[in-house]
Amino acid sequence: MRIALFGAGHIGTTIAGLLAACGDYRVTVFDRDPAALAPLANEGIATRVSALATRAAIDDALAGHDAVINALPFDRAIEVAQAAAAAGVHYFDLTEDVAATRAIRALAHDARSALMPQCGLAPGFIGIAAHHLAQGFDTLLDLKLRVGALPVYPNNALKYNLTWSVDGLINEYLHPCEAIHDGAHAELQPLEGLERFALDGVDYEAFNTSGGLGTLCETLAARVRTLDYKSVRYPGHRELMRTLLDDLRLRDDAATLKAMLRRAVPATMQDVVLVFVGASGLRKGALVQDVFVRKVFARAGTNASTTAGTSVVEKAGDGALSAIQITTAAGVCTAVDLFRAGHLPQRGFIRQEQIALPDFLANRFGAAYGGPENAFGKAGSDHVEGGVGKAGSDHIEGGVGKAGSDHIEGGVGKAGSGHIESQVRSH
């Protein structure tokens, strides 16, 4: 399958490496920055310098390809999708932007190709996991989705480091948040709905952010009483962001806010992605709760290609990968892989929840999130811990693993834990 990959940032380069390493895809990466493309070219991956700034440039890049993966900023999604639909090229992206997704869905009505936006972590994998849990109830009542991409070692007032697109981060802090409350569709304000919780001895906060539900509100309409999505951060982050956005009036000057964050908030490769889905409802007349949890840690860049396991992420070279790179790239690569294998519709709009969770986790890319019942790999796997099961199951109690798990104690790992002491990751 011939893939045009737009964007050679941290996520785009990871996607390119994974697809090229498996041997089933011919990937050409397009970016305006020759320096960003150089490491890929050195690995034998085809590259082309292009700013993709005009429709003609996009059309030229799409020519001769079966599909495009758009890893550009969210504000480029609609124009790239329009060009792909016109050219009959299959389209995949990572956008969290609600307006862009709605526009892409409208394009898909008469499209000759498939259009599948939101193929990352949230939206993306979180919706697949939530939809899977929802199917296990005779009557579904409440479905709560929580995702955090966090520094393992926060050391600033925001308790945050940059691990993904600043544009995407600010976008989800500024726009209304879709939800279902009391069975009716609702739009909630970002940064509201504050809740606090502890997991593995670590305190967190969560609050409304935009885009994480993807198309779940429509899929589960008239079936669920409460459905919402919140981003997870360390305590205090929300209040400082509200100070910046409201008191300093940067809500109306997003460009300045983004410049401030890029200048003052350091990036890190030492990150962890927390995925939590809680579902409650009636099953055989009884009120029950099921929980799905994953913690995905960054991968150190030492002998990674010889690590045992079924995940392509484990085998794609020796370079370090942040947790957000692993989870986001695994999401879109799995979607493309399942599409290529005929497990998804071959034209029109494709929702993330059309992917079955067992199929995702069994995929060579999706295995980066761990198996359907246990952590990825054997006990002590160096970057995944988690589980799925009923409340009280032995791998859910305590958050993401049995007490004594060698990389969960204290929230991120015992001193000397193999995947904490030697890792360098970002988010």
Q: Along the 427 residues of the chain, how does pLDDT read in single tens digits?
A: 999 999 999 899 999 999 999 999 999 999 999 999 999 999 999 999 999 999 999 999 999 999 999 999 989 999 999 999 999 999 999 998 889 999 999 999 989 999 999 999 999 999 999 999 999 999 999 999 999 999 999 999 999 998 878 888 899 999 999 999 999 999 999 999 999 999 888 999 999 999 999 999 999 999 999 999 999 999 999 999 999 999 999 999 999 999 999 999 999 999 999 999 999 999 999 999 999 999 999 988 654 433 334 455 555 555 789 999 999 999 999 999 999 999 999 999 999 999 999 999 999 999 999 854 332 233 233 455 655 443 333 333 323 333 333 332 333 333 333 232 222 223 3
- The predicted pLDDT at position 385 comes to 60
Q: How is domain 2-116 classified at the architecture level of CATH?
A: 3-Layer(aba) Sandwich (3.40)
Cα 46 from Cα 31, distance rounded (Å) = 12
Encoding tokens for residue 200? 């593995």
Encoding tokens for residue 30? 């397009």
All CATH 3.30.360.10 domain ranges in the chain, comma separated: 125-305+371-421
CB 4 within 8 A of CB 68: yes
Which of the 8 DSSP states describes residue 247?
I
One-letter identity of residue 112: R
Cα-based distances in Å from 325 to 9, 12, 40, 320, 354: 10, 9, 16, 10, 23
Cα 293 from Cα 125, distance rounded (Å) = 12
Cα 178 from Cα 211, distance rounded (Å) = 7
Half-sphere exposure of 365 (CA within 13 A, CB side): 28
Encoding tokens for residue 351? 């929702």
All CATH 3.40.50.720 domain ranges in the chain, comma separated: 2-116
Cα-based distances in Å from 95 to 52, 72, 200: 17, 9, 31
- The predicted pLDDT at position 300 comes to 80
Closest CA to 140 of 287, 271, 259: 287
Cα 197 from Cα 293, distance rounded (Å) = 14
CB 96 within 8 A of CB 172: yes
Q: How many residues does the chain have?
A: 427
Half-sphere exposure of 402 (CA within 13 A, CB side): 6
Half-sphere exposure of 108 (CA within 13 A, CB side): 20
- The predicted pLDDT at position 312 comes to 54
Cα 369 from Cα 194, distance rounded (Å) = 27
Q: What is the pTM of this model?
A: 0.85
Cα 37 from Cα 2, distance rounded (Å) = 18
Encoding tokens for residue 143? 């479905």
CATH H-level, domain 125-305+371-421: superfamily? Dihydrodipicolinate Reductase; domain 2 (3.30.360.10)
Bridge partners, 202 (sequence order): 199
